[in-house]
Amino acid sequence: MEKKPPPLVSLIPAVLLVIMLFISIRIFGSDALGGASQISLLTAAAVCIFIGMIFYKVKWDAFEQAITNNIAGISTAILILLVIGALSGSWVISGVVPTLIYYGIDIIHPKFFLVSTCIICALVSVITGSSWTTVATIGIALMGIGKAQGFEAGWIAGAIISGAYFGDKISPLSDTTILASSIIKVPLFDHIRYLMITTVPSLIIALIIFTIAGLSKEVVETEQIMTFRSVLDLKFNISLWLLIVPIVTGILIARRIPSVITLFLSALLAGIFAIFFQPHLLHEISGGDGESFMSTAQGLITSFYGSTAVETGNIELNELVSTRGMSGMLNTIWLIICAMCFGGSMMASGMLFSLTAIFARFMKNAVSTVASTVCSGLLLNLTTADQYISIILTGDIFRDIYKEKGYESRLLSRTAEDSVTVTSVLIPWNTCGMTQATVLNVSTLTYLPYCFFNLISPLMSIFIAAIGYKIVKRENLIDKE
């Protein structure tokens, strides 16, 4: 039997990673994503591999296989990221986002903007089953509306993410919801119904906080809002016809078309609308003197893949309508790949299981069992940097423990979602954290304090266990298939 690394040894790569990331962020700030954070992940992975091979005789093939499997597992996510980059660029340049901002400023009152944003994103995410799709579409538009109304980026992103991850957590179309229920062998709708016990109270508390924050906000002067509207109207051809793009996107989502196809068709449709409604912007982006077909094509293609800057005469709007396209996602993809290398090395070396085993020792009653699972789920998110891997490992590690202690499988599936799904977006080097930070152009640490739903959910899971509501325990519990 191979000797496994003890917990103290297993902590070495994880502690080294945290220290290096802290130093990188202090030195480079937001530019740390351009390479410093990736170096930190690869260095921690190298230390993990060195310890595993030299002291615990783990073969290189095991590390290579684990890393390869990890990267293969996020290949779809990488493709979605690239398509999201193209979509965000085309939605802005075509005028879709500016149109939504233009009319949204009037429709959504500033006092209720934050709570409205959270509710809107929650509804869209429940329908789509995807937090990524929600943030990449309606989230971008709401970001613009919030900035026009004078809200800080962290508050806006926190409201968007809180709503988006509520839907991602309870929607029967959500891949994480389906994964958690299937891995732990709980019927999907039993899992969702049990999730409601912790999820709905968490959202209600978040909505109350956003309502209070909105009511205490000083309303931006009408002149400033009118300036935003007039500048948008001057630079873009604002038209209700442009709303066809989000409407068609909604129809594709309702028909359950796969996310990659939906996002791709949405980006393509926005590109077509850009040709008819914003040809002047395409020529501006291309840098061409004339208005030839080649100039239009160059501007359109650039908006899909590259960085674009539209000069509006307003500094805040310039930042809002600038896009990075597919190329803007490359640093995120690079970071995700490096994170998968670190997660794979921790799994292959046995260090990950050694660390999570610590929490299993504290499982004495319902509260300690749920709390240990929550802490383990958070640790898995920190070390594997991927919510899907974390959900799978949480199920694998704790399934038998819950059964031996007489707890229902649905308690484990719910706790896994309460601890893994919602916290993944709060970790800067996690796939979710990096994706949403890139899409919204707000750093993870900036929006983290305002993601109230995501912060409350794990605590709510422990609280519900403490009061014992709907916590069933029987000796030698046999789960119904």
Residue 475 counted as domain residue: no
Report residue 379 as tokens: 């640790």
Does residue 351 share a domain with residue 314?
A: no
Residues pairing with 308 in the sheet: 323
Domain boundary among 306, 328, 350: 328
Does residue 272 share a domain with residue 189?
A: yes
Yes or no: say if 410 and 191 are a contact pair by the CB < 8 Å rule.
yes
Yes or no: say if 20 and 43 are a contact pair by the CB < 8 Å rule.
yes
Does residue 242 share a domain with residue 262?
A: yes
Domain boundary among 328, 360, 384: 328
Does residue 271 share a domain with residue 172?
A: yes
Residue 1 counted as domain residue: no
pLDDT of residue 30: 61
By the 10 Å C-beta count (0-12 exposed, 13-18 middle, 19+ buried), 78 is classed as: middle
SS3 at position 308: strand
Q: If we measure between CA atoms, which residue out of 469, 451, 396, 397 comes closest to residue 168?
A: 451
Q: How many CB atoms lie within 10 A of CB 59?
A: 11
Residue 211 counted as domain residue: yes
Question: b or e along 213-228 (b: 16 or more beta carbons within 10 Å of the residue's beta carbon)?
Answer: bbeebeeeeeeebebb
Residue 479 counted as domain residue: no
Residue 300 counted as domain residue: yes
Does residue 90 share a domain with residue 33?
A: no
Q: How many CB atoms lie within 10 A of CB 319?
A: 12
Residue 2 counted as domain residue: no
Does residue 308 share a domain with residue 203?
A: yes
Q: If we measure between CA atoms, which residue out of 277, 328, 318, 319 comes closest to residue 300?
A: 277
Does residue 111 share a domain with residue 22?
A: no
pTM for this prediction = 0.71
| Range of the structural domain that residue 12 is part of | 7-72+329-467
Low-confidence ranges of the chain (pLDDT < 70): 1-2, 29-30, 33, 127-128, 173, 219-225, 288-291, 315-317, 319-320, 474-481
Residue 474 counted as domain residue: no
Does residue 262 share a domain with residue 389?
A: no
Does residue 375 share a domain with residue 292?
A: no
SS3 at position 291: coil
Does residue 392 share a domain with residue 357?
A: yes
Q: How many CB atoms lie within 10 A of CB 49?
A: 24
The total domain count for the chain is 2
Does residue 46 share a domain with residue 85?
A: no
Q: If we measure between CA atoms, which residue out of 463, 94, 398 comes closest to residue 268?
A: 94
By the 10 Å C-beta count (0-12 exposed, 13-18 middle, 19+ buried), 251 is classed as: exposed
Does residue 343 share a domain with residue 235?
A: no
Residue 473 counted as domain residue: no
Amino acid at 341: C
Domain boundary among 280, 307, 328: 328
